[in-house]
Amino acid sequence: MRIVSGMRPTGKLHLGHYLGVIKKWLELQASNDSKSYFFVADWHALSTTYEDKLNLKNLSIELVKDWLSCGIDPEKSVIFIQSHVKYHAELYMLLNMITPLGWLERNPTYKEQIANLDGKDIHTAGFLTYPVLQAADVILYDADFVPIGEDQRPHLEITREVVRRFHHLYNSNIFKEPKEILSPTSRLLGLDGRKMSKSYNNSIYLTESSDAIFKKIKTAITDTQRVKKTDAGNPKVCLVNTYHEEFSTKETIDYIQDGCINAKIGCMECKKLCFESIDKFIAPIREKRATIDDKIALEIALDGSSKANEEAKIKMEYINHTIFNIE
Ligand code: SF4
């Protein structure tokens, strides 16, 4: 089975990205019966950051370095950059011709993002139609499955509707209707208890030094009702406990939960153990990243883009034949 998935190059990856996306990608990559295409969605990034003058070339390479550091392997998966495969744009244009505006305007994610992206003017054709670009991204490679979060479900439904409409209009059957692989929503919140996000300055990055991780964990909010070590705490309402549950061993989790509930340990001891667990998790990623320079990452991305181009070219020939050579 074929898997296609992309990620926008908008900055360093943090633990939330790892648990929400990369972990699932690694599972899929490890499966013997699947071939995965992972792409840097630099054109998608423009749909919300076109005014920000980001250096998308550098950010794309940094993203590839993050993926490689986490274990995404170019021997097993095709790693490429969307804008290096111009067929995505060609198919996007053709699909835009047949996609009714109402499907895009009714998209709940579109409405929600328009309401929430404060200070950004995203009333653009590119933002309204980016689900069509997503459709092109996956059907170009005959994806069987697309790993997505819950919020992306309406987009994949638009992809399937676009496929059906294309087949109906051109009396063909050339695309697959991709199914979803739902990634569990990452429960990992930022250090201040809000969603882990670069814009809230509350993230722990996969490139973080031990020292930086320790300093950050020290600032993490805890059970606000627990003021002194002698107060019994409640791990169920404590952010640090959620970090332990993701990164610590069962023994450590049992130790800190018992220590918290029965007022046997202080929050600083608990945070120190939390730091050790997170640092242990990040250390190999950090070490591997130090061995990957920009040149290596660029070569891998160019090689992957060349493979993606070859496949996309063949598919695009079929698509153009279907549209323009109607008998
Ligand atoms: S001991 Fe740990 S789990 Fe309990 S409130 Fe303090 S930081 Fe949170």
pLDDT at 123: 86
C-beta 238 within 6 A of ligand 1: yes
| Residues 242 and 137 both lie in one domain | no
196, part of any domain: no
Instruction: Give the tens place of pLDDT for each residue, 154-201.
Output: 999 999 999 999 999 999 999 999 999 987 766 789 999 998 988 789
Instruction: Give the tens place of pLDDT for each residue, 255-277.
Output: 999 999 999 999 999 999 999 99
Question: 264 CA to middle of ligand 1, Å?
Answer: 11
pLDDT at 326: 64
119, part of any domain: yes
| Nearest atom in ligand 1 to 244's CA | 3
Cross-strand pairs, 78: 37
Q: What percent of the chain has pLDDT over 90?
A: 84
> Average pLDDT, stretch 299-304?
98
33, part of any domain: yes
pLDDT at 327: 56
| Residues 53 and 156 both lie in one domain | yes
Please state, in angstroms and as integers, the Cα–Cα distance from residue 152 to each residue in 24, 47, 60, following that order. 15, 16, 22
Instruction: Give the tens place of pLDDT for each residue, 39-70.
Output: 999 999 998 888 778 899 999 999 999 999 99
- From 14-28, 89-103, 105-119, 168-182, the region with the lowest mean pLDDT: 105-119
> Average pLDDT, stretch 103-112?
86
Question: 37 CA to middle of ligand 1, Å?
Answer: 41
200, part of any domain: no
Mean pLDDT of the chain: 94
Q: Which two tokens stand for residue 325?
A: 């050579």
203, part of any domain: no
C-beta 191 within 6 A of ligand 1: no
pLDDT at 118: 65
| Residues 104 and 249 both lie in one domain | no
| Residues 143 and 15 both lie in one domain | yes
144, part of any domain: yes
| Residues 20 and 152 both lie in one domain | yes
Q: Is 70 in contact with 63 (CB distance < 8 Å)?
A: no
pLDDT exceeds cutoff 60 at 73: yes
198, part of any domain: no
SS (H, E, C) the chain: CEEEEEECCCCCCEHHHHHHHHHHHHHHHHCCCCEEEEEECHHHHHHHHCCCCCCHHHHHHHHHHHHHHHCCCCCCEEEEEHHHCCHHHHHHHHHHHHCCHHHHHCCHHHHHHHHHCCCCCCCCHHHHCHHHHHHHHHHCCCCCEEEECHHHHHHHHHHHHHHHHHHHHHCCCCCCCCEEEECCCCCCECCCCCECCHHHCCCCECCCCHHHHHHHHHCCCCCCCCCCCCCCCCHHHCHHHHHHHHHCCHHHHHHHHHHHHCCCCCHHHHHHHHHHHHHHHHHHHHHHHCCCCHHHHHHHHHHHHHHHHHHHHHHHHHHHHHHHCCC
| Residues 225 and 239 both lie in one domain | yes
pLDDT at 277: 98
C-beta 253 within 6 A of ligand 1: no
| Residues 149 and 259 both lie in one domain | no
Mutational pocket test of ligand 1: of 227, 241, 244, 277, the residue with most ligand atoms within 8 Å of the beta carbon: 241
Q: Which domain holds residue 165?
A: 2-188+293-324
202, part of any domain: no
C-beta 223 within 6 A of ligand 1: yes
| Residues 168 and 155 both lie in one domain | yes
Number of domains in the chain: 2
CATH number at residue 238: 1.10.240.10
C-beta 267 within 6 A of ligand 1: yes
| Residues 58 and 176 both lie in one domain | yes
| Residues 17 and 135 both lie in one domain | yes
